[in-house]
């Protein structure tokens, strides 16, 4: 990491997903008032409502709608009427 290019408050911060209590540590300049202790060390805490650990798209729990099949069914049923 290059010296003197990051802000003074660039430090390790804990981000916590409030929906499933998963935490991860990364470096950030985000301002926060809360702290959390992990493995005997205290970190600033940022609470998040949703992360990749709980988002339906990334967890594979998203319901997919087959719109292509519906369009094909509509065209096969009503497609001939437009050709007149």
Domain membership flag for residue 4: no
Is a pLDDT exceeding 90 seen at residue 42?
Answer: yes
Tell me, rounded to whole angstroms, the distance of Cα 42 from its chain centroid: 25
Please report the pLDDT score of residue 57 as a whole number: 63
Please report the pLDDT score of residue 3 as a whole number: 82
pLDDT tens-digit profile of 52-62?
677 666 566 65
Domain membership flag for residue 78: yes
Work out the pLDDT band at 13, boundaries 50, 70, 90. very high
Q: Which residues contact 16 (CB under 8 A, 6 or more apart)?
A: 22, 23, 36, 45, 46, 47, 48
Domain membership flag for residue 28: yes
Domain membership flag for residue 69: yes
Domain membership flag for residue 1: no
| Structure tokens given for 65 | 């709608």
Count of domains observed in the chain = 1
Please report the pLDDT score of residue 39 as a whole number: 93
The mean per-residue pLDDT over the stretch 46-70 comes to 68
| Structure tokens given for 71 | 């369009």
8 Å CB contact between 17 and 54? yes
Domain membership flag for residue 2: no
In terms of residue numbers, what domain contains 51?
11-83
The SS3 call for residue 17 is strand
Please report the pLDDT score of residue 38 as a whole number: 93
Domain membership flag for residue 5: no
Task: Pick 44 or 4 by higher pLDDT.
Answer: 44
Query: Model pTM greater than 0.85?
Result: no
């Amino acid at each position: 990491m290059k010296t003197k290019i990051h802000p003074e408050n660039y430090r390790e911060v804990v981000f916590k997903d409030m929906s499933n209590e998963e935490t991860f540590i990364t470096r950030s300049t985000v301002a926060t008032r809360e702290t959390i202790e992990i493995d005997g060390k205290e970190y600033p805490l940022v609470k998040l409502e949703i992360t990749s650990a709980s988002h339906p798209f990334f967890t594979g729990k998203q319901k997919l709608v087959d719109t292509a099949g519906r369009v094909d069914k509509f065209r096969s049923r009503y497609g001939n009427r437009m050709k007149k």
